[in-house]
């Protein structure tokens, strides 16, 4: 099925290594993203193409850098930060890989008409053969513009639900002081990327028939929900042809990313404020706090909102709002008492990533509310209970 398996494996491994050089991502994201880059070179092999959503709770998490790396690897890339609906559907006639940055505006509660039009185009464009009708001068006859093709988005917070349903969502965090990536140099990096891009383009071209056949004959990805299985089938088809020995690894990656995406929604507009308030109320010198004592302390903040009915914290809501930062409740001991609660050590990385020194200075004043201006937060990549499922992909 493959002319030179070693060459195909080398191409994908090179793409994955190249992404790792410059991007800090969840470990479960590197292999799918490399396979997605290969798939952009053969979108016509699939009946639907998954979008990629790069999401973060705040700015400075490296989303734009990932788009820049994808721009160097994907087929016919078009990276833009703003566009009109007309420019988008006219751009799509050349079958580009569309890389859209700063798409938070699409999630406004009352988006402008242009944003609604863009969203409708993007919602349609993951299905092969999708078009949008437009009247074209001079006679204003109706013309159907194709909008199908690969697309990746970067946003602070969440995407509209309809768009997120079409995405493989990758939730990013700021890198810590111990994490290292190479400096991206525009004078050098594109030239270094060219051989990698050429190799994955050659891989895609040489294996398109095998990928198309595998995709068409693929059984249901029973370990994923229906909509997610539809999204992931092109990625699994490429993997089954080019890297069959890593299909099981990809299955685990898919479960982790889909598990995070499917986790309970949360009221995220106050999440960064909650993190700052937790640091303010944490009992000095204590390594542990019970859920009840932390919740009570937050609700007693004189200028806080947590005691108000609309922001009232239940243990479940508190856990849900902290989960995007990788913080989970656990059994803790305080003196002779053992109860559900939190450990200070679990908060330290989140404090250093998201609470600036300016916030520290203000935490004892009545102006401690973080003026983040940011959007929603997302859930961690904790694998669901079905992570250990024995289901595996068996290409037809």
CATH classification of the domain holding 235: 3.40.50.300
Residue 303 in any domain: the answer is yes
The model's confidence at residue 1, banded by pLDDT at 50, 70 and 90, is: very low
Q: Would you state the pLDDT for residue 309?
A: 78
Residue 115: domain span: 5-265+384-388
Q: Is the pLDDT of residue 357 over 60?
A: no
Q: What is the mean pLDDT of residues 94-104?
A: 90
In a domain, 396, yes or no: no
Hey, what are 342's tokens? 């939190």
8 A C-beta contact, residue 63 and residue 159:
no
* Residue 300's CATH number: 1.10.10
Q: Does residue 163 share a domain with residue 242?
A: yes
The answer to the question of residue 378 being in a domain is no
Instruction: Pick 68 or 325 by higher pLDDT.
Output: 68
My answer on whether 130 and 146 are in the same domain is yes
Q: Is it the case that residue 161 has pLDDT exceeding 50?
A: yes
161 and 193 assigned to the same domain:
yes
Who wins on pLDDT, 11 or 361? 11
Report, as an integer, the average pLDDT of 107-124: 82
- What kind and span of H or E run contains 360? helix 357-362
**What count of other Cβ atoms lies within 10 Å of the Cβ of residue 86?**
14
**Which comes out higher in pLDDT, residue 208 or 364?**
208
Q: Are residues 142 and 255 in the same domain?
A: yes
pLDDT at 215: 97
Same domain, 248 and 343: no
Same domain? For 235 and 336 the reply is no
SS3 348: helix
Per-residue model confidence (pLDDT) at position 387: 24
Least trusted range by pLDDT, from 233-247, 322-336, 365-379: 365-379
CA distances (Å), origin 354, targets 11, 290, 374: 37, 23, 11
Q: Could you give the percent of the chain with pLDDT greater than 90?
A: 53
Is residue 337 predicted with pLDDT exceeding 70? Answer: yes
pLDDT-based confidence at residue 361 (cuts at 50, 70, 90) = very low
pLDDT band at 330 (very low <50, low <70, confident <90, very high): very high
The more confidently predicted of residues 283 and 147 is 147
Give the tens place of pLDDT for each residue, 39-96: 999 999 999 999 999 999 888 899 999 999 999 999 999 998 877 888 888 888 888 9
| Cβ density class 95-134: b for 16+ within 10 Å, e for less | bbbbbbbbbbebbeeeeeeebebbbebbbbbbeeebbbee
- Per the structure, the count of domains in the chain is 2
Is 218 in the same domain as 316?
no
Q: What is the mean pLDDT of the chain?
A: 83
83 shares a domain with 29: yes
Q: Give residue 125's pLDDT.
A: 92
Band (pLDDT 50/70/90 cuts) for residue 109 is low
Those residues whose C-beta lies under 8 Å from the C-beta of residue 39, and which sit 6 or more positions away, are: 45, 46, 49, 150, 204, 234, 235, 238
Examine the pLDDT at 24 and tell me if it is beyond 50.
Answer: yes
Q: In this structure, are 105 and 252 located in the same domain?
A: yes
Same domain? For 12 and 130 the reply is yes
Q: For residue 71, is it within any domain? A: yes
Phi-psi region of 335 (alpha: psi -120 to 50; beta: other; left: phi over 0): left
Residue 323: per-residue pLDDT:
87
pLDDT at 175 over 80: yes
- Are 251 and 318 within one domain? no
Say whether 148 sits in a helix, a strand or coil.
coil
Mean pLDDT of 179-183: 91
Do 15 and 85 reside in the same domain of the chain?
yes
| pLDDT confidence of residue 271 | 80
Rounded CA-CA distance 118/101 in Å is 13
pTM here? 0.69
Q: What is the mean pLDDT of residues 146-170?
A: 92
């Amino acid at each position: 099925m493959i002319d030179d398996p070693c060459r195909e494996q080398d191409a994908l491994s090179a793409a994955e290594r190249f992404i790792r050089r410059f991007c800090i991502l969840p470990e479960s994201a590197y292999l799918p993203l490399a396979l997605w880059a290969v798939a952009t070179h053969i979108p016509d092999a699939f009946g639907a193409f998954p979008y990629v959503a790069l999401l973060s709770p705040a700015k400075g998490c490296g989303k734009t850098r990932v788009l820049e790396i994808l721009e160097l690897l994907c087929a016919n890339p078009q990276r833009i930060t703003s566009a009109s609906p007309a420019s988008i559907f006219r751009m799509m006639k050349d079958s580009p890989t569309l890389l859209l940055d700063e798409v938070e505006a699409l999630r406004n509660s009352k988006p402008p008409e242009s944003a609604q039009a863009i969203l409708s185009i993007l919602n349609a464009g993951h299905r092969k053969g999708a078009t949008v009708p437009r009247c074209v001068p001079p006679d204003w006859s109706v013309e159907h513009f194709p909008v199908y093709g690969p697309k990746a988005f970067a946003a602070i917070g969440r995407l509209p639900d309809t768009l997120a349903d079409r995405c493989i969502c990758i939730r990013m965090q700021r890198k810590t002081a111990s994490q290292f990536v190479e400096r991206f140099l525009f004078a050098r990096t594109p030239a270094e990327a060219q051989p990698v891009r050429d190799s994955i383009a050659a891989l895609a071209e040489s294996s398109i028939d095998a990928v198309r056949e595998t995709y068409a004959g693929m059984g249901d990805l029973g370990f994923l929900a229906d909509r997610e299985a539809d999204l992931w089938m092109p990625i699994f088809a490429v993997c089954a042809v080019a890297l069959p020995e890593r299909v099981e690894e990809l299955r685990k990656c898919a479960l982790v990313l889909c598990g995070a995406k499917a986790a309970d929604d949360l009221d995220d507009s106050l999440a960064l404020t909650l993190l700052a308030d937790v640091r303010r109320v944490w009992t000095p010198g204590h390594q542990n706090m019970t859920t009840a004592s932390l919740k009570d302390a937050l609700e007693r903040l004189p200028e806080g909102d947590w005691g108000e009915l609309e922001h009232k914290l239940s243990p479940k809501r508190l856990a849900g709002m902290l989960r995007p930062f990788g913080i989970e409740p656990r059994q803790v001991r305080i003196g002779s008492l053992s109860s559900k609660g939190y450990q200070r050590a679990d908060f330290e990385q989140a404090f250093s990533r998201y609470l600036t020194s300016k916030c520290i200075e203000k935490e004892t004043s009545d102006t401690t509310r973080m003026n983040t201006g940011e959007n929603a937060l997302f859930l961690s990549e904790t694998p669901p209970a079905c992570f250990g499922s024995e289901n595996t992909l068996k290409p037809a």
